[in-house]
Copies of this chain bind each other. A is one copy, B any other.
Amino acid sequence: MRHPKKHDFPVGQVRRYLEPGPIVLVTSRLKDKANVMTLGWHTILEFSPSLVGLMISSGNHSFRMIRETGECVINLPTTALTDTVVRVGNTSGADIDKFSAFGLTPGEASVVKPPLIRECHACFECRLRDDALVDRYNFFIFEVVKAHAARTPKHPETLHYTGDGVFMVSGKIISRKSLFRPGML
């Protein structure tokens, strides 16, 4: 499978990829074990610092790894990885090594210890910023401390989950820039 060549991307602009609501693959590492989970419950919270909120259910093997280390990488898969996204979401890192089982290639991150996924279009390295809502809602607030993204395609074909095994694939791109006030862009 392709390994899109990624370049440094401004951390303040990760909304470009995450605000449209794609399914992401979240990687973690605890000691010598890396893991990956599929996640659809996330939101941008701030541009600067670059904050992202993730709901990581405590039933996931990744939960404890991320809770203990305070680090993860948010990786953006495209439709080239559709079946992998589903398989990752339907297995547990407690049972198998998902990287080798599903042919995902770990890459070294710049700042954090969890691996990048080389098959993904973009990778956002994250450090835990606030765990105030983790006990009550499994809601982690991370700061994106380093971002990597491929330059092409400009609008990668992403997956958006609707439940019940059904995904919406990102569609056409339209601009309404001319209707915006300059300060709102």
Contact = CB atoms under 8 A, between A and B. Distances in A.
Interface stretch (A17-25, A93-101, A106-114, A115-123): A17-25
B42 A43 contact: yes
Nearest to A158: B168
A103 to B, nearest CB: 15
Interface string A61-90: 000000000000000000000110011011
Contact of A16 (B15, B44, B163, B167): B163
B21 A137 contact: no
Contacts of A166: 173-177
A167 to B, nearest CB: 5
Nearest to A14: B163
Contacts of A55: 43-46, 53
A9 interface: no
